[in-house]
Amino acid sequence: MESIIGKHWHHLPTEEVVDLLGTQSDKGLDLFEIQSRQEHFGPNLLSQKKGRSPIVRFLLQFHQPLVYILMAAGIVTGFVAEWVDASVILGVVLVNALIGFVQESKAVRAIEALARSMTTEATVLRSGEIQKVSSSELVPGDIVLLQSGDKVPADMRLFSTKELRVDESVLTGESLPVTKSVDTLGHDTVLAERRNMSYASTLVTYGQDRGAVVATGNHTEMGRISELIAEVQSVETPLTRRIEAFSRVLMVAILLLAAATFAAGFLHGGPPIEIFMAAVALTVGSIPEGLPAAVTIILAVGVSRMARRRAIIRRLPTVETLGSTTVICSDKTGTLTENQMTVREIVAGPAKYLVSGSGYDPSGALEPADDTAPSAPSEALMECLRAGLLCNDSRLILNEDRWGIQGDPTEGALIVSARKYGFDEAREAQLHPRIDVIPFESEYQYMATLHESPAGAPPMVYLKGSVESILARCRDTLDADGHLAPLDLERVRHRVDEMSGRGMRVLAFARKAWSHTGEPLTHDGVAEGLTFLGLQGMIDPPRREAMTAVRACQEAGITVKMITGDHALTAVSIAGDIGILGNRSHLPAQSNVRTGQEMAQMNDATLTEVAARTHVFARVTPEQKLRLVKALQSRREVVAMTGDGVNDAPALKQADIGVAMGITGTEVSKEAADMVLTDDNFASIEAAVEEGRCVFDNLVKFIVWALPTNLGQGLVILTAVFAGITLPILPVQSLWINMTTAGSLGLMLAFEPRESGIMRRPPRHPRSPLLSRELVGRVLLAGLLLMASAFGLFEWEELNGASHAQARTVAVNAFAVISTLYLLNCRSLNRSFWSIGIFSNPWILLGIVMMMLLQLAFTYLPFMNRLFHTEPIGLQSWMGIIAAGFVSLWAVGLEKFLARRFSSRIGTIQEEMEGPSEAG
């Protein structure tokens, strides 16, 4: 039995297939053989890989450097018997772990969704009897009967089809239903072109079929996708990498400072307990306890903003990753296009017409493309549209303000084009009742319908089909006035080549008066003598919003690539219309696209080079989509992958950020993705990128604001220990500074609005540090200002007779006031706070009021004095604190001004240097 797994069934004749499977095409398998095969192959379900247990996944949430720092802070705080503060810090750790735990296990959920999508009923032939069974009970060798509306229950080799058309878009990305046949195909035929196979989870849209099951469960094409999803490792986001690197550096620096503090105190001969408490104070003061909470809240605010702009985030770090994206790999069907076939051009008589509107919405019009069209309504045009409307088995429907089609998308497009010219289906059906029909057959490549004619005229036959099959049956054509005219075959073929060259699918139309009254419609009866009516060219049109979004992404320095399972010519045409090709759109199609067949011949190194310079990839399999994403990531690109089909799921999970479509997307793609667009609009990605950049800006602003407070405290304590004097700040007071300033001041930066020009910047380099050199210099400057102010005011108070408690109260208030005013400078990383508006973020003002109230309570309430070892201070002390705050405010403002001037000067010099070289 194992010998039947993995064979190239499309390459084998049906007789050999039946023989290898040990079945009978007219009877199927018997009961005993079915039971034996079920025991051997197992159920027709996707097996679920055993992952980490929930406990292990929860414990792994603590395996992060930043969490180690927080846990150390909690433990150290417990050492000084501040149990309330220790509980708060460790509570933050626990909440972060719970959030991460809830967001885990995407791969497991994706595989479960994939398994659910495969479960259905199947009609089988067993022991010569037709019966319905659960698809999970199917085995290789089962004979399955399919009809319109069925979901294919397993991978099948077809051996008897009747006008079978299957929608394989979830598997291959093909936008149109595929017409199936039983003919044996070549060994190297790619998946999307295996017309004699049907695959699990695809949908029968028309016709009937009988075939043999050749693969079930994990051995199906869907099973291979499931294994790809399970094998893909979740990629660390740029934010995760930056925070981890930053946390490691911070942890090492804090431990080194603490060791230096202890060593200095020991060399000064201080008491060991006091030395230890000084080291503890430095450790507690230097740890940014509010950073994990700030990261979570800033990301959560970004999630909320994105939800309002129709993008649902499933993992918090995804928000920032969007801002780092350098390449967007987009599926075509349903993502960049409407996934609604639309007639774009009509050729009828001597004239050509352009059709406006998009999708199945019948609003639009037909306009002459040139002056060859007649001014009065053309009889040739009307007959061409009538043929498409009457020779049609589909329906146009309006469901909840959304136009759709019941039936074949191609026929739906013909109904819409006729509607745009004023035709009404019900009226036409009443005027021209159908008498007989010849359904579409792949052997003949056309469909024909026979209709009564009004006013006693003879019945009329209308045909639609491939250009070759229709032209071979025509002897003449209609001119603009509806008179018969000679048929110019060369002219028609030239028009067809023009339309096909723009990626359109072209159908031809013809008619014939039926003289055999009372006789059924036959192929022989329409074999010759037809009148050619015209051509209709259709395409799955690009979304208008997608064009704008692609252009905006390119202006933001983001490369957009199309990866699709559709035909190369169609893909290049759509890419050119949308603007993906940029200044390469004038080049031949072959130079702009690579196919899956070509990619299969490439090694990883060659593919990496090709992936970088190619913008369109067509006829691509799920494994190749995955390879493309990996190839781009090997070049250190931050890759966003969009898609809606099952075939997109492995690449969605591998990408730095996977973006699924909420309306048309499969459940599998949504589970594998990091973000879901509720409106299926590529333009929402641009909004998400904008929000992602804003989130990163606000996160950096928080860090630039928070670090000087920790640095200043560490320097104050370190200076006191080296000088051998009293500590200006106690450990419990350090905790007060860190927790109150972070909560009431720093977190208000999460609500900072987007700065202008945010989408005109290039993407950040994936390996760039969290803070630039300029920002590191600003952190050092602000930290030194805090240290000098707090230490200076502490010493000044003691020299003027204040107690240790009063002097420390002044030092703590100096940190609070300077941090408050420094917050204003951190609202923009390069512009002055005056230029962005004092009231543009009202949360900042609320935070300042809260901070001042807390400091007044800290200074003057008796129970706070006892808890934090403080004493009330006088007006003169406050004047010194406020003066120090404004000195720091203007010092940092001056640094930002000089930095802007320096950057502007460097930019001017670069432009002057580039100018002569360009002129030369």
Catalytic hit among 142, 209, 331, 540: 331
Under 8 Å between Cβ of 748 and 841: yes
Q: Please name the residues in contact with 61: beta carbons below 8 A apart, sequence gap of 6 or more.
A: 67, 96, 97, 98, 100, 101
Q: How far apart are CA 222 and CA 191, in angstroms?
A: 12
DSSP codes joined into one string, 46-100: PPPPP---HHHHHHHTT-SHHHHHHHHHHHHHHHTT-HHHHHHHHHHHHHHHHHH
Torsion of CA 695, 699, 700, 705, to 10 degrees: 140
Give the CA distances from residue 58 to residues 9, 53, 61, 506, in Å, rounded to whole numbers and listed in that order.
Answer: 46, 9, 5, 57
DSSP codes joined into one string, 485-531: EE--HHHHHHHHHHHHHTT-EEEEEEEEE--STTSPP-TGGGSS-EE
Q: 684 in helix, strand or coil?
A: helix
Q: Please name the residues in contact with 597: beta carbons below 8 A apart, sequence gap of 6 or more.
A: 188, 190, 619
Give the CA distances from residue 644 to residues 203, 547, 677, 678, in Å, rounded to whole numbers and listed in that order.
Answer: 16, 19, 10, 12
If we measure between CA atoms, which residue out of 912, 745, 728, 737 comes closest to residue 824?
745
Q: Helix, strand, coil shares of the chain as percentages rounded to 5?
A: 55, 15, 30
Q: How far apart are CA 912 and CA 247, in angstroms?
A: 41
Tally of CA atoms within 13 A in the half-sphere of 258 that contains its CB: 21
Q: How far apart are CA 329 and CA 616, in angstroms?
A: 9
If we measure between CA atoms, which residue out of 698, 704, 794, 642 comes closest to residue 311?
642
DSSP codes joined into one string, 153-201: -SEEEEEEEEEEEEE-HHHH--SSPEEP------TT--GGG-TTEE-TT
Q: Please name the residues in contact with 544: beta carbons below 8 A apart, sequence gap of 6 or more.
A: 358
Tokens of 111: 């595989």
Edge-to-edge strand ranges of the sheet holding 559-563: 311-313, 675-677, 657-661, 639-643, 327-330, 559-563, 616-618, 593-595
Q: How far apart are CA 877 and CA 815, in angstroms?
A: 14
Give the CA distances from residue 156 to residues 6, 63, 129, 139, 619, in Å, rounded to whole numbers and listed in that order.
Answer: 13, 47, 19, 11, 21
Tokens of 97: 């772990």
The CB-based long-range contact list for 908-912 (8 Å cut-off, 24+ gap) reads none
∠ CA 575-580-585, rounded to 5°? 70
Say whether 85 is catalytic: no
Instruction: Tell how strand 327-330 and strand 559-563 pair up.
Output: parallel
Strand ranges in 240-291 using DSSP code E only, listed in sequence order: none
Under 8 Å between Cβ of 255 and 247: no
Q: How far apart are CA 242 and CA 224, in angstroms?
A: 34
Tally of CA atoms within 13 A in the half-sphere of 418 that contains its CB: 25
- To which residue do tokens 């000679």 refer? 486
Length of the chain equals: 920
Helix-then-strand count for the chain, H and E: 31, 27
DSSP codes joined into one string, 522-558: -TGGGSS-EEEEEEEEEE-PBPHHHHHHHHHHHHTT-
Q: How far apart are CA 506 and CA 468, in angstroms?
A: 11
- To which residue do tokens 């640095």 refer? 711
Q: 753 in helix, strand or coil?
A: coil
Which residues carry out catalysis? 331
